[in-house]
Amino acid sequence: MIDEPEVGGAPVDRRTGLRPTALAVLRAVDRACTWRSRRLKTAPTTRAVEQLGSSGLTEDEARALLCALGQPWRTLHPLLVHGGNWGSAEGDEPADDEFTRVGLSPLGRLALDAADSRCAPVPLGLVLGDVHPRRSHGTPAAATPTTGVLRPGFGLGPVLDALDAVRSGVPGPSRVLPVPPSPARAVVDVDLSAMLAGEPTRARLGCRFDVVPAPAVPPPPPGPPPEVVAAVRARGLSSFGWVTYGNRQHAGPSLLITGAPTGVDIGLLEDQLREAAQTGHPPVPVADVVNESTDRVGVRVLVHTDHPTADVDALRAWTSTLPAATDEVTWHLPGGADAELRRWRDPTADDDGLRRLASLRA
């Protein structure tokens, strides 16, 4: 169904649009989860790494792919499910292999079934795109932008909508496709028309910002309770001190980072913010940097100020100059998005693969 065997100089699978390395990982995990006649939901990561040894990948490369294909901040729709500590968006490293497990997600199972002709082809290359290289704590402060050509991923819902537009005979069905989203909710700046037309297009991924207003002046802390005052007076003391403790509250507005370039560990961005706040002469004094990011809430980094009228716009512009705050990639859809969509929607073929794909739509 897919006539284009290569994208960006690297081969892709004709029945899924995935890279061969991604399919090799899925097959290795599937073998690791197969125990005699049983198929387990997950298997020890050590077993999956052993299975990947025959694919030509080093253990480090195997672990990196096992991480990337299952971490929701690295891919739009995970092909793998993880058990145990597989790291975090803040840059925490995964636990040792013997303490983690890995298995195929429903989308990963569908990818294998399509690749092995157990169902009709599915356009997972369009859905997922390529995984962005990871930039972590080991990345130099003067990190260079991502090199090479990547395929953009548009997400499951938009691709299914565009394929429905092909079936309905809508001219230019790619117009349904949005700017490719980022798993880490980065702001994406790209010439969408040029990219959909099949031109190699440079895209800039930057942080997503919000502002937390300066807090209202807090009320004075409560005084000592009456029984304490009575006890002091009963002892004949003329004076005493009463100390209350509360959470540190900053007097100025805070810059809130709610998205970051795909592949950038949030811990790297936090480290660069702290270092630059001390040595980089920010436009307004930075009182503190607090990383509240979690797997549940996603990216949430607060840059606090202590002046009620602090220029948050200037602070935002300054933050955007940090190496970890932006990334540039070249996205390429050879032949254009319209031709690519029409290749996947064959009106004469059984579309059980697309039906299964649509059943996974959130």
Range with the lowest mean pLDDT among 92-106, 131-145, 176-190? 131-145
pLDDT one-digit tens code per residue, 87-124 = 888 788 899 999 999 999 999 999 999 999 999 999 99
Whether residue 5 is predicted with pLDDT greater than 60 in this model: the reply is no
Model confidence at 8, pLDDT cuts 50, 70, 90, reads very low
Q: Considering the entire predicted model, what is its pTM?
A: 0.82
pLDDT of residue 1: 27
Whether residue 157 is predicted with pLDDT greater than 60 in this model: the reply is yes
Quote the CA–CA distance of 121 and 118 in Å, as a whole number: 9
- Proportion of the chain above pLDDT 90, given as a percent: 56
Range with the lowest mean pLDDT among 51-60, 125-134, 142-151, 311-320? 142-151
State how far Cα 33 lies from the chain centre: 26
Whether residue 346 is predicted with pLDDT greater than 70 in this model: the reply is no
Q: Is 204 helix (H, G, I), strand (E, B) or coil?
A: strand
Mean pLDDT of all residues belonging to the chain = 86
Whether residue 12 is predicted with pLDDT greater than 60 in this model: the reply is yes
pLDDT one-digit tens code per residue, 258-312 = 999 888 888 889 999 999 988 878 999 999 999 998 877 888 999 999 888 999 9
Q: What share of the chain is helix, strand, coil (3-state, %, to 5)?
A: 35, 15, 50
Average confidence (pLDDT) over 321-329: 91
Q: Is 1 helix (H, G, I), strand (E, B) or coil?
A: coil
Quote the CA–CA distance of 15 and 1 in Å, as a whole number: 7
* H or E element that contains 268: helix 266-279
Strand stretches in the chain, DSSP E: 6-7, 10-11, 34-35, 38-39, 43-44, 80-83, 101-104, 149-150, 187-189, 201-206, 208-212, 254-259, 288-291, 301-304, 326-331
